Structure 1
Amino acid sequence: MSLSFYNTLTRSEQVFTPIKDGEVGLYTCGPTVYNYAHIGNFRAYIFEDLLKRTLLYHGYKVKHIMNLTDVDDKTIRGSQAANLPLNDFTQKFKDAFFEDIAVLRILPADVYPAATEHIKEMIDIIAVLFEKGIAYQAEDKSVYFSIAKWPKYGQLVHIDHEQMRSGTRVKLDEYSKESIADFALWKAYDSEDGDVYWDSPWGKGRPGWHLECSAMSSKYLGKTFDIHCGGIDNIFPHHEDEIAQSEAANDCRFVNYWLHCAHLMVEGQKMSKSLGNFFTLRDLLDKGYSGREIRWVLIGTHYRQSLNFSFKALEEARGVLQRIDAFRLRLDELGAAPDSGLDEVKVPLETAAKGFQAGLAADLNISMALAALFDFIRDLNRPMDEGKCAGAAARDARALLERFDSVLAVCTPDASDSVPAEIQAKAEERQAARKAKDFAKADAIRKELDDLGWVIEDTPKGPRVKRK
């Protein structure tokens, strides 16, 4: 089954054709490590994880590169405020990022290149642009990219060339579409940068933010590669400037498919510290939510639609995941029973597999994929209720659920969801009370467990304990 993605470059959905058959080069913009990543950042990282897992699901071998921006305006100011060397300051947030993506079950990239370790590659690109007359050194000693010398500038955001202000310059890493100007490739040393600088043919200084990704992506994926991702806020100026400097330096197309995810809102409002709705992953974990529940909410809206993150959605996620857990446990139990119902489950399994794959293939249509999952659960619960899905049939269904979870990564509880020994002991004490017909004691233990956040389900094979 062929895949199709909405390509920001062409403003259309296109069938995906990789440069090399069966292999995909994927570059995703990683964190700027000056603070803990917030849930808006993770919306993008989880979309990219869904994309990567979908490619793997369809049999592609994926080479994934995600950069770490550890030198820019924000990291320098942060290190100075903390009175720490730049590397010491950023290392804390690099470590935190890797801890966070593990909690959210995000597959690690193959390489996480840090900007500070690739200064030579950036200087090499600037040198080529100088040779071609596209880069120039201004009176402030910084080096800029001349947009007047590159007529293709603006292809990603479809800029009207009359908007361009040839000869004017912008040194900031981030600026608006209304402030289009020659952008910085190399920032001349400023005393405000402290001890953060590198030597170059144009004097000491540091690279512009946009240059970092051009240098690192081409080093690990080649001058032209398949897919580049990020949030819509990366489209301009970051990705537009990446395209300009890369294609001007290398005389070839930079990226074939550009995929961008929409913004995340919180309770219907833009996330903002001033509104009190700014959350890091750690904030949500401290409120008692699990990484799996947070992932479910972040994965459940199509990546090109704004996602409204709410605590109600997190509560609903808990209930949905409990339903999936109950289904999985039921399949595990029935898988050990004698064979029954292979013919009855064949069609539901085939239908679910086709629907799930078709949804993913249609520009990561997660709603369609999840609908296939829930139809699968409904259609299998019926024969299980009738004793017509056991043994090999249940094991086949369990294998398909695992296949779905290779993409979703939500169908297995977190280790923290396992039942603590003291809770299990209480459940066994209640079971003993029931056998002794001491129902008052059994009810008291049930209430005690409920107060502690645990529910007991009485099944034919004995009591089952799970979180509320």
Structure 2
Amino acid sequence: MLRVFNTLTRQKEVFKSQKPNVVRMYVCGPTVYNYIHIGNARSIIAFDTIRRYLEYLGYKVDYVSNFTDVDDKLIKEANLEKTTVSQVAQRYIEAFKADGAKLNVEPATVNPRASENIPEIITFIQTLIDKGYAYAVDGDVYYRARKFKNYGELSDQNIDELEQGASQHINDTEFAKKEDPIDFTLWKAAKPQEIFWDSPWGKGRPGWHIECSVMSIKYLGDTLDIHGGGQDLEFPHHENEIAQSEAATGKKFANYWLHNGFVTIGADDEKMSKSLGNFVTVHELVKTVAPQVLRFLMATTQYRRPIRYSEENLADAKANLAKLQNALTNINYRFKDAIPGSDTAVEQAVATIKGAFVAAMDDDFNAQNAMTQLYELVRVMNTYANEPQAKIGTLELLQGTFEDLTNVFGLSFAGNSLLDEDVEDLINQRNLARKHKDFARSDEIRDELKAKGILLEDTAQGTRWRRA
């Protein structure tokens, strides 16, 4: 039985979707003014892994993740480049999709954009005004945070303390406009040379928080099963989403709130972020590090735990990924001399591993404990690959189980599961050279393969290979 940690209640709860076998899930996406960095990738991979496990359990996941393509940062970038906001956004949306594909992230069911939902945003804001939760001042529209009785509940903060903090962080002009310092922006009046849309309150653009409320409800309904994002979004973004959405619909906005941990960097384990300037973009990293290695590092850590980014941790991820690949290579090789049938003892071991894997992931997606079971499967695979006689049914079971479990983590070994024709041809040439005692040629082929990252192992069943 799946249990998830709900940020709203700060405890693990049994997960139950509103509609049997369907999960409606919304995850806050990037503001597309630059390439995503590894901290962004953590959230993307964490929730992709959660989605994959829900699909493993048999759920159909309606997965919506937005693009914020209207924002101060986009306007600034467009002005620097002397281009338009939409052109900047489109370039980085395409880059995001390309990086996501490299990281084997499943495409969202829908990737809505703020700029494509302006009429819905205006209508939503007008509903909040009509209900007394929002007010317009000089072309801006603000939300009355104190009017929403549960404001601060998600982030476990006292509203009076929030008001005191807010009053110290707004300028005099904004302070004069707001009824209360903690009130937040729903609509911003346009400044000269800024992108804008016409509205009942004048030319302007939406605030950051309103877009997620509007688009999640538009595509998934008034109440979501899961709303996810990074821990840094708990306040104010997600807190404001709840206030806006529940005030407008009169219904609970999301049943389960899931937040992933940060990526840290450096000796002080500082949070990675663009604002601190300590970030590494995925776009640059994958030029020197295999995307699967980064995926492995991110996906195999429990989503709420922080991840320390370092060369050492990347090296460990690469080594562990190679262990998985080698186990699959060993099993695939044994199909050459396998006979029909299956081994009951191995089938029972596999059933035990699968059960323990599910139990681990059912405990708030505990990836570390689940990986322990995957490594146990690797041990069974390697042991069976060295048996004097292998059986087809058992090889297929091991192969299929390996694929199912690694797929939960978004790890793909497609294209590497069978011997490449060129590699096999060279191995055949080497075997022929050895048969004719041409050991110089045999060693030459081994060295040639090694230079290309292919290591050979001579066994009683023949020559196996693995990637270094």
Q: Same fold (TM over 0.5)?
A: yes
Higher mean C-alpha deviation, range 439-448 or range 11-20: 439-448
Q: 1:142 corresponds to which residue?
A: 140
> Percent of counterpart pairs with the same letter?
39
Q: 1:18 corresponds to which residue?
A: 17
- Counterpart amino acid of 1:202? W
Higher mean C-alpha deviation, range 216-225 or range 426-435: 426-435
Query: Using the alignment, how far apart are the partners of 1:259 and 1:324 within structure 2?
Result: 29
CA contact (8 A) 2:261 2:305 kept: yes
Query: Using the alignment, how far apart are the partners of 1:17 and 1:217 within structure 2?
Result: 19
CA contact (8 A) 1:25 1:63 kept: yes
Query: Using the alignment, how far apart are the partners of 1:235 and 1:58 within structure 2?
Result: 28
- Counterpart amino acid of 1:367? Q
CA contact (8 A) 1:345 1:380 kept: no
CA contact (8 A) 1:292 1:414 kept: no
- Counterpart amino acid of 2:440? A
| 1:314-343 CA distance string (max 9 Å, x none) | 222222222212221222233451135521
CA contact (8 A) 1:325 1:413 kept: no
Q: 1:437 corresponds to which residue?
A: 437
| 1:24-74 CA distance string (max 9 Å, x none) | 100011111100111110111111011101111111111110101111111
Q: 1:161 corresponds to which residue?
A: 159
Q: 1:278 corresponds to which residue?
A: 279
Query: Using the alignment, how far apart are the partners of 1:341 and 1:198 within structure 2?
Result: 67
Deviation at 1:6, TM superposition (A): 0.2
Matches within 5 A, 1:322-337: 322-335=322-335, 337=338
CA contact (8 A) 1:419 1:466 kept: no
Deviation at 1:463, TM superposition (A): 4.2
Deviation at 1:159, TM superposition (A): 1.6
Q: 1:397 corresponds to which residue?
A: 398
Q: 1:62 corresponds to which residue?
A: 61
Query: Using the alignment, how far apart are the partners of 1:418 and 1:383 within structure 2?
Result: 19
Deviation at 1:441, TM superposition (A): 3.8
- Counterpart amino acid of 1:408? F
CA contact (8 A) 2:36 2:283 kept: no
- Counterpart amino acid of 1:126? I
Query: Using the alignment, how far apart are the partners of 1:124 and 1:50 within structure 2?
Result: 35
Query: Using the alignment, how far apart are the partners of 1:449 and 1:215 within structure 2?
Result: 56
Deviation at 1:294, TM superposition (A): 1.1
Query: Using the alignment, how far apart are the partners of 1:64 and 1:180 within structure 2?
Result: 35
Residues 1:42 and 2:72 are matched in the alignment:
no
Deviation at 1:195, TM superposition (A): 4.3
CA contact (8 A) 2:377 2:402 kept: no
Matches within 5 A, 1:169-180: none
Distance 1:4 1:34, change over 3 A: same
Task: State the number of aligned residues.
Answer: 455
Query: Using the alignment, how far apart are the partners of 2:43 and 2:80 within structure 1?
Result: 28
Query: Using the alignment, how far apart are the partners of 2:275 and 2:126 within structure 1?
Result: 43
- Counterpart amino acid of 2:297? V
> What SS does the corresponding residue of 1:165 show, helix, strand or coil?
helix
Deviation at 1:152, TM superposition (A): 1.7
> What SS does the corresponding residue of 1:6 show, helix, strand or coil?
strand
CA contact (8 A) 1:33 1:75 kept: yes
Query: Using the alignment, how far apart are the partners of 2:321 and 2:359 within structure 1?
Result: 23
Distance 1:308 1:450, change over 3 A: same
Query: Using the alignment, how far apart are the partners of 2:385 and 2:274 within structure 1?
Result: 49
Query: Using the alignment, how far apart are the partners of 2:266 and 2:453 within structure 1?
Result: 26
| 1:184-220 CA distance string (max 9 Å, x none) | 00000112xx240000000000000000100000000
Quick one: higher RCO (CA 8 Å, sep 6+), 1 or 2? 2
Where does structure 1 lack aligned partners over 5 or more consecutive residues? 172-178
CA contact (8 A) 1:3 1:362 kept: yes
Query: Using the alignment, how far apart are the partners of 1:284 and 1:433 within structure 2?
Result: 42
Query: Using the alignment, how far apart are the partners of 2:334 and 2:429 within structure 1?
Result: 26
CA contact (8 A) 1:341 1:383 kept: no
Q: 2:292 corresponds to which residue?
A: 292
TM-score (norm 2): 0.90
Q: 1:255 corresponds to which residue?
A: 254
Distance 1:342 1:453, change over 3 A: closer
- Counterpart amino acid of 1:382? T
Q: 2:174 corresponds to which residue?
A: none
Query: Using the alignment, how far apart are the partners of 2:413 and 2:148 within structure 1?
Result: 51
CA contact (8 A) 1:344 1:388 kept: no
CA contact (8 A) 2:333 2:464 kept: no
Q: 1:174 corresponds to which residue?
A: none
CA contact (8 A) 1:341 1:388 kept: no
> What SS does the corresponding residue of 2:286 show, helix, strand or coil?
helix
Q: 1:408 corresponds to which residue?
A: 409
Query: Using the alignment, how far apart are the partners of 1:218 and 1:170 within structure 2?
Result: 30
CA contact (8 A) 1:334 1:389 kept: yes
Matches within 5 A, 1:103-122: 103-122=102-121
Q: 1:455 corresponds to which residue?
A: 455
CA contact (8 A) 1:324 1:411 kept: no
Q: 1:86 corresponds to which residue?
A: 85
Query: Using the alignment, how far apart are the partners of 1:416 and 1:359 within structure 2?
Result: 27
Query: Using the alignment, how far apart are the partners of 1:207 and 1:3 within structure 2?
Result: 37
Distance 1:420 1:31, change over 3 A: farther
Distance 1:368 1:307, change over 3 A: same
CA contact (8 A) 1:265 1:307 kept: yes
> What SS does the corresponding residue of 2:239 show, helix, strand or coil?
helix
CA contact (8 A) 1:247 1:254 kept: yes
Q: 1:175 corresponds to which residue?
A: none
| 1:428-458 CA distance string (max 9 Å, x none) | 5544443332323433443344344442333
| 1:354-397 CA distance string (max 9 Å, x none) | 01111111100111111111112213433442336421111112
| 1:132-153 CA distance string (max 9 Å, x none) | 1111122x43110111222221
> What SS does the corresponding residue of 1:286 show, helix, strand or coil?
coil
Distance 1:181 1:40, change over 3 A: same
- Counterpart amino acid of 2:301? T
Where does structure 2 lack aligned partners over 5 or more consecutive residues? 172-179
Higher mean C-alpha deviation, range 211-220 or range 308-317: 308-317
- Counterpart amino acid of 1:48? F
